[in-house]
Amino acid sequence: MTDIDVRDLTKEYGARRAVDELTFRVRPGRVTGFLGPNGAGKSTTMRLLLGLDRPTSGTATIGGRAYAELHEPLRRVGALLDAGAAHGSRTARDHLRALAASNRIPVGRVDAVLEQTGLAEVARRRVKTYSLGMRQRLGIAAALLGDPEVIVLDEPSNGLDPEGIIWIRTLLKDLAAEGRTVLVSSHLMNETASFADHLVILGRGRLLADTPVQEFIRARVQPEVRVRSIDPDALGDLLVRHGHDATRHEDGAWSVRNAPAEELGRLLAEEGVPVLELAAREGTLEQAYLDLTATEAEFTAQPQEA
Ligand SMILES: Nc1ncnc2c1ncn2[C@@H]1O[C@H](COP(=O)(O)OP(=O)(O)OP(=O)(O)O)[C@@H](O)[C@H]1O
C-alpha cells in the first residue's frame, strides 16, 4: 500500500509560482480526482511527482521516496501525462514490447494490457494511424504495463468516445478496488463525480480542498425535492402554509429546500393533493465546484499569461 505524499511543494517559473506551498496525501484504495481551473498547477504537480521537473522547494514522494530513487519505477508507478508520447512509426505492440524490455517487465504483460485497454485487435497497426482516443488508450496501456501500485493520469478521458469514457470509469474504480493509489486530473465535473471517491482541488497552485466527494457536495449544495401537482397554485399555498422554503419553476413544479422527500410525500397525502412527481435531487459536483469558485479568491482575477 503506497501513498503519494506532497509536502510544502513549491515550483516557480521565473516570477510565476505554478505550485505554491502545496501539501496533500493521496491514499490507496480509492480514486482521487485532481481538479482546478486551467493553469492551477495540476500538470506541474504531476510532473514534479514523476521527477520530470525539479521543485523550487518541498517534496513529492511515492511510498516515501522521490520518483528518481525508486527501483524499477515503471513497476511502482504508471503515468499518463502526454498521450502523444509513443513513436508514430511503431506498432502499439512493438512500442509496449520495447517499454517492457527496457524496464524488465515480463513480455506477457504486453498482451494483458492490450486486452485490458481494448487495443488487442489494432495492436499491429502503426501508432500514427491511431485516433486520439486510441492513442489515449495506448498511453493508459503503457501506464498499466508494469502492474504498478500507483497510477497517475492527466486528463485520461481526453479524446475518448462515450464508450471509452464508460470504460475508463470502470477501469479506474477497479484499479482502486484492487488497492492501488489512483490520482486522476480532469476538467470535467460530471466525469470526475462518476469515478472519484476523493478530491484534491487546486487554485493558482494552492490547495483549496482535500475532501471526500460526497462531503464536498453536501457541505456546499443543499439537496432539494422537486414536486409537481395538477394544481401548482394550491401546492404552493400548501407549502407556504407549512413553512417550507420553496421556489416555483416555469413548468409549475416546485423545488423545496431543507425537507426530506418522505416528509413532503406524507404531507401531500394527508392534505389529499394529487402528486404527479416527487423527486429528491442531490447536489452535483458541478454545483459544489461552482460554489467553491465563487467564494475563493484563487479562482478570480487570474493573472494574464506573461
Ligand atoms: N515549463 C514552464 N515554464 C513556464 N511556466 C510554466 C511551465 N509549466 C507550467 N507553467 C505555468 O505554471 C502554471 C501552472 O500550469 P499547469 O500546466 O501545471 O496547470 P494545470 O492545472 O495543469 O492546467 P491545465 O488544466 O490547463 O492543464 C501556469 O501558469 C503555466 O503557465
* Grid cell digits, residue 103: 524496464
Question: Hey, whose CA ends up nearest to atom 30 of ligand 1?
Answer: 39
User: Tens digit of pLDDT for each residue in 255-275?
Assistant: 999 888 999 999 999 999 999
Domains delineated in the chain: 4-218 (3.40.50.300), 222-281 (3.30.70.980)
Q: Is the dihedral of CA 218, 219, 220, 221 positive or negative?
A: positive
DSSP 104-141: T--THHHHHHHHHTT-GGGTTSBGGG--HHHHHHHHHH
Place of cell 524496464: 103
Is 306 a residue whose pLDDT tops 80?
A: no
Of 6, 9, 13, 154, the residue with max ligand 1 atoms within 8 A of its CB, to mutate for a pocket test, comes to: 13
Side chain identity at residue 157, one-letter code = S
Expressed in angstroms and rounded, the spacing between residue 20 Cα and the centre of ligand 1 is 12
CA 169 vs CA 122, 156, 280: distances in Å: 22, 10, 25
- Residue entry with cell 516557480: 12
Neighbours of 283 (CB within 10 A): 18
Rounded-to-integer distance, Cα 50 and Cα 76, Å: 11
The atom of ligand 1 lying closest to the CA of 41 is 18
Please state, for a pLDDT cut of 90, what percent of the chain lies above it. Answer: 81
Residue 93 CA to residue 100 CA, distance in Å, equals: 10
Of all residues in the chain, the percent with pLDDT exceeding 70 is 95
What is the per-residue pLDDT across 139-195, written as a single tens digit (0 to 9) for each? 999 999 999 999 999 999 988 999 999 999 999 999 999 999 999 999 888 899 999
- Residue 87 phi/psi, 5° resolution? -70, 125
Q: What pLDDT is attached to residue 258?
A: 86
Cα(103)–Cα(90) distance, rounded to whole angstroms? 18
Identify the weakest region by mean pLDDT among 40-49, 86-95, 178-187, 231-240.
86-95
| Pocket lined around ligand 1, Cβ cut-off 6 Å | 13, 16, 18, 36, 38-44
Instruction: Look at 91-95, 293-297, 298-302 and tell me which has the smallest mean pLDDT.
Output: 298-302
Range 50-66 average pLDDT = 96
Query: Coil, strand, or helix at residue 97?
Result: helix
Atom 8, ligand 1: which residue's CA is nearest? 44
Contact between 256 and 244 under an 8 Å Cβ cutoff? The reply is yes
Site to substitute for ligand 1 among 10, 43, 187, most atoms within 8 A of C-beta? 43
Spacing, Cα 41 to ligand 1 middle (Å): 6
Residue 305 has a pLDDT of: 46
Reported confidence tier of residue 85, pLDDT bands at 50, 70, 90: low
Top pLDDT among 178 and 38 is at: 178
pLDDT at 222 over 90: no
Of the pLDDT bands very low, low, confident and very high (cuts 50, 70, 90), residue 99 is: very high
Q: Is the pLDDT of residue 304 over 60?
A: no
d(CA 202, CA 208): 5
Predicted confidence at residue 299, as pLDDT, reads 64
Which residues, 6+ apart, have CB-to-CB distance to 69 below 8 Å?
Answer: none
**CA pair distance 269, 277, nearest whole angstrom:** 13
The mean pLDDT value of the chain amounts to 92
**pTM (whole model) above 0.80:** yes
